[in-house]
Structure 1
Amino acid sequence: MHPKGHVALVTGGGSGLGAATARLLAKEGAKVAVLDVNAESAAKVAAEIGGIGIGCDVSSAEAGEKAVAEVVAKLGAPRIVVNCAGIVRGARIVGKDGPSDLDTFRKVIEVNLIGTYNMIRLTAAEMAKLEPLADGERGVITMTSSVAAYDGQIGQAAYSASKGGIAGLVLPAARDLARSGIRVMAIAPGLFQTPMMASLPAEVQDSLGKSTPFPQRLGTAEEYADLVLAICNNIMLNGETIRLDGAVRLAPR
């Protein structure tokens, strides 16, 4: 399904992977709704691409319902949904001061995993109401996992668990939604140039990039967006998590 003429909804679209994806989908002719917990960032990207920006905490059922209803009212039901919203909070399970804070673990799971599921259930319900395209497809949903789902490092228990949950969600979600002609995929990025990565010293970024076998650099948000577009265009891509990582395998620390 080529994006041209269709409605696309991108969470975490105010920066990084989500912003690059929103830009590419708009360039390809989609009508894009940019959702982000930072409403100002969402509005900025939306203004740039001629879409709509909506502030939304994806982990909130009420906020998700309100945001999706606004998208449907202003643009129509989305046929393309890309879930990029996520947070990172590192902590050892047992640190120098004792056991880690449970609320920190809970918050990462709520945003990354529950937030992704929340947006899937809400957008898929709207997709299922659409008329099928010529090939029977009604829509495609892409989630963002991470290589940390498989190669979780020290201090990444919460993040790895949340991203592993997404990898585990792909197949049952694809099977659940197959009867409605809705595909579900996930991308597991490796070491990418994101706002979080950009906060690290240049020498640290360079070192991390060189740990990737090939190409020996950090991935770009545009390369993530390119894969989203490929997923949209290829109807046989369904029920799978694709590692986008230059063959990197993360060391324990």
Structure 2
Amino acid sequence: MDLNGAAAIISGGASGLGEATARDLAAHGATVVIADLNEERGKSLADELGGVFVKTDVSDEEQVQAAVDAAVATGKPLRVVVSSAGIGWATRTVNRDGSPHDLASYRKVIEVNLIGTFNLMRIGAAAVAKTEPVDADGQRGVVINTASVAALEGQTGQVAYSASKGGIVGMTLPAARDLAAVGVRVNTICPGIIDTPIYGFSPNADEFKAKLVAPVVFPKRMGQASEFAHLVRSLIENDYMNAETIRFDGGIRFQPK
């Protein structure tokens, strides 16, 4: 599917993987709508890319609807929905002091990562379904969701995060089957260790990154956000990619901790 002249909405688009995706899609002719909570950064990036920013909590139905409406209001057909908003959390199911995992934090991670992804997918795909098909196959658009290799190989303390990301993987095939009727494809990317600003703020950041890279098979480094964005675009442009979960991790296999 050709991105040029289409609208694309990207949750978590103000930084990290979402920002890289917004930049790549805009460079290939898409009008990007950045749905994010970071108002200052989101507005600045949207202005730079000639796009639109909408302050959005992905777990809030009305805010997601407003972001999708803004994408439709660009006057370009909404063809692409990318979910990359998410939060992390690290707590054992039972802590070393014998206390159980906090339920509120578990619910919060599920609410943002899993329900937030579904929220944007369902509302975004409904808007895509109202556009005209772009080809003889009846294709109207593409949804790309972001999970994690933690969905498949969660480490110690990742029970909430892995459950939320595993839920995204689990809904890929049924969502693709549901949305086939309206000409929308759905794929999920499971990133491994990607070099985003989240890893670069501590005094021992380089040492920490080296430890993270150790289990990567090849190339022996962290992935780049721009490489993730390239994969997103490849999945959009390749019309036969559908209902797939793609590992993007340099061959890493996580150890228990």
Q: Which TM-score applies when normalising by structure 1?
A: 0.97
| 2:16 is equivalent to residue 12 of structure 1 | no
What SS does the aligned partner of 1:85 have? Answer: coil
Q: Which residue of 1 aligns with 2:129?
A: 128
Q: Does 1:174 align with 2:176?
A: yes
Q: Percent identity?
A: 49
- Cα 1:75–1:41 shift into 2, 3 Å: farther
User: What is the aligned partner in structure 1 of residue 54 from structure 2?
Assistant: 54
Deviations 1:32-61 (A, max 9, x none): 111111122211211121111111000011
What residue is the counterpart of 2:197 in the other structure?
195
By how many angstroms is 1:189 displaced? Answer: 0.3
The answer to whether the 8 Å contact 1:83/1:143 transfers is yes
Q: How does 1:57-96 map to 2 (within 5 A)?
A: 57-95=57-95, 96=97
Residue 74 of structure 1 deviates from its aligned partner by: 3.1
- In the alignment, structure 1 residue 183 sits paired with structure 2 residue 159: no
- Letter of the 1:146 partner, please give it: S
TM-score (normalised: structure 2): 0.96
* Partner residue of 1:246 out of 245, 250, 256: 250
Aligned with 1:215 (options 216, 219, 223): 219
- Give ranges in structure 1 of 5+ residues lacking alignment: none
Gaps of 5+ in 2: none
What is the correspondence of 1:84-163 to structure 2 with a 5 Å cutoff? 84-95=84-95, 96=97, 98-135=99-136, 136-163=138-165
Aligned residue runs from structure 1 range 225-240, under 5 A: 225-240=229-244
Shift of 1:86: 0.3
* CA shift digits 1:101-155 (9 cap, x unpaired): 1010000000000000000110111111100012321000000010000110000
- What letter matches 2:101 in structure 1? S
- Offset at residue 164 of structure 1 (A): 0.3
**Alpha-carbon separation, structure 2, partners of 1:76 and 1:50:** 13
Question: Is this contact kept in 2: 1:12–1:19, CA < 8 A?
Answer: yes
State the match for 2:2 in structure 1.
2
**Structure 2 counterpart SS, 1:141:** strand
Which runs of structure 1 show a deviation greater than 4 angstroms over 4 or more consecutive aligned residues? none
Count of residues in correspondence between the two structures: 253
The residue matched to 2:73 in structure 1 has which SS?
helix
Rounded Cα–Cα distance in structure 2 between residues aligned with 1:106 and 1:98 = 17
**8 A Cα contact 2:33 2:70, kept in partner:** no
The 2-side partners of 1:169 and 1:195 are apart by: 29
Q: Contact conserved, 2:25 with 2:233, CA < 8 A, in 1?
A: yes
